[in-house]
Structure 1
Amino acid sequence: MDHQTSLTQHISAPADKVWAVISDIPGSAATLSGIDSIQMLSTGPYAEGTRWKETRTMMGRAETVELWVSQCEPPSTGRAGSTTVKALRGGADYTTRFSLAERDGGIDLTVTFGVEVLKPTRASKLMMAVLGPIGMRITRKALARDLREIAAKAESL
């Protein structure tokens, strides 16, 4: 990936409760303060292929992006679970992976976010070199807030 960041939050809740929060796409706008609204594009439970539009305000601008689940491994006996969400926007491939790992009677939830320019040009390479680190710092702050809010919700269930 061209730019990538990873953060981990310990959550004092079992894997099934953490999974219930991260897989509740229709309820995510109520859980995560960074999400303005959700529009579901598919029906059924959270699974590979689940699609939705998510509107977030970042740097004072509302942006709506279509996302989908590209990989889904719910927690089960002996496995804490993981899921990957993708988006394509502006010639870039965005990947967000949530991984759950049991630790100290709870779960370490790690989110890894990355962006890859699909057909890089000189101009896009220059822009990523200059603006990429700034964008990743802003994204890292938003992801840290999301993790704290996921933890608070899972711990309250």
Structure 2
Amino acid sequence: MSTVTVTEFIEAPAVDVWARLVDLPVRAGWLRTVGGVELLTTGGFGPGTAWREIRTRPDGGDQAEEFLVLAAEPPRRLVLSSPGIGVDYRITWTLRTVQRRRRGCTAVTVEHTAVPTAPYGRVVALLFGGLAARAVEGAIRRDLADLAAASHGDSAVAA
């Protein structure tokens, strides 16, 4: 099992950040590596909600990723699962209101945990663990930067 954790400070209220994060129909509009989102369930956002994203890989190819909401506690915590080949992923988003530079902002922490589900998943994790962790960290940082830009724009419009 390997875990990557990244925190970013977003200059917007947690409710605005949360709203942007869980608005699946517009996700491809603010996430630069997402080319499309397909909802796999109906109804409101919450535990059981599932969707598929088409993401652009660093090599320029496309990759489909599916996500399932395990827990949603607006505007504080979101837990997702995503199946992989030989490994499953759990992604936990935690939003906390903090004071930074004498202004209120939201500390967003993303914890990405990979859990091998097959024997070869453990071998791959051992061989490529560091390289994979760096790639995951880079992807999380890009997504958080995109979330910050989109959320900051929401705050500026609302102000």
* Fold in common (TM above 0.5): yes
The equivalent residue for 1:71 is: 71
- Identity over aligned residues, as a percent? 28
Structure 2: 5+ residue stretches without partners: 155-159
Structure 1: 5+ residue stretches without partners: 76-80
Tell me the secondary structure at the aligned position of residue 59 of structure 1.
coil
Is this contact kept in 1: 2:87–2:121, CA < 8 A? no
The equivalent residue for 1:133 is: 130
4+ runs deviating over 4 angstroms? none
**TM-superposed deviation, 1:45:** 2.1
Tell me the secondary structure at the aligned position of residue 27 of structure 1.
helix
The equivalent residue for 1:87 is: 82
Tell me the secondary structure at the aligned position of residue 144 of structure 2.
helix
Q: How does 1:100-139 map to 2 (within 5 A)?
A: 100-104=95-99, 105-119=104-118, 121=119, 123-139=120-136
**TM-superposed deviation, 1:126:** 2.7
**TM-superposed deviation, 1:106:** 1.1
TM-score if structure 1 supplies the norm length?
Answer: 0.90
| Amino acid in the other structure paired with 1:96 | I
> CA 1:124–1:92 in structure 2 vs 1: closer, same or farther (change >3 Å)?
closer
Q: Could you report, residue by residue, the CA deviation over 1:8-55 in whole angstroms, capped at 9, with x for unpaired residues? A: 111111111000111111211111001121111112221111111111
TM-score if structure 2 supplies the norm length?
Answer: 0.88
Separation in 2, partners of 1:52, 1:91: 20
The equivalent residue for 1:3 is: 2
Separation in 1, partners of 2:152, 2:140: 18
Q: Could you report, residue by residue, the CA deviation over 1:59-84 in whole angstroms, capped at 9, with x for unpaired residues? A: 32311122110110012xxxxx1001
**Backbone CA RMSD of aligned residues:** 1.2
